[in-house]
Amino acid sequence: MHSTIINFKTFFVTCGFVSMLFSVGCGSNYRDSLSASQEVNATIAALGDAAMEDSSFASVFVAGTSPANRKDYATCNYEVVGEPSISGDEATAEVQVTTGVSDGSNSDKPAKVDSGKQETRNVTWSLSKEGDEWKIKDAPLE
């Protein structure tokens, strides 16, 4: 009797886990459920990691607009302040840029802020939609 109860528990736990996987939407694109504002924020948030290498960095910018100073972008943190302004396929966002962050590219440790050289400023960035993805068009650090 005890082993039957354990088998039923195992069965129900397994069924619950499998149904949870299917309800999450295996293979679905998470961006389908994001608002345009959330997509813009996600694009900006991705810049810090993308700045670690040339090809990833270029991929978050509108074709031909990625800045030459990629390594400077790798040493900053980015946070959208307020809601982006979106009009059709164009957007602007106020971004708080914190400089003086180690890029962490030479280790598996998270990037660290160098408090002695840290500066924070707000700047306005512009984005454009290419296909169905938001890309950064202009992202000044100052």
For the chain, give every domain's residue range.
35-138
Q: Is the pLDDT of residue 26 over 60?
A: no
Counting every residue, how long is the chain? 142
pLDDT bucket at 80, cuts 50 / 70 / 90: very high
| Nearest Cα to Cα of residue 79 among 130, 125, 129 | 125
CA atoms within 13 A on the CB side of 62: 14
- For residue 25, pLDDT over 50 is answered with no
Q: Considering the entire predicted model, what is its pTM?
A: 0.70
Residue 31 has pLDDT above 60, yes or no: no
Q: What pLDDT shows up at residue 78?
A: 94
CA–CA dist 99, 15 (Å, integer): 49
Whether domain 35-138 has CATH 3.40.50.1390: the reply is: no
How far apart CA 71 and CA 18 sit, in angstroms, is 44
As a whole number of angstroms, the distance between CA 36 and CA 9 comes to 43
CB 128 within 8 A of CB 135: yes
Six-digit token string for 16:
């619950």
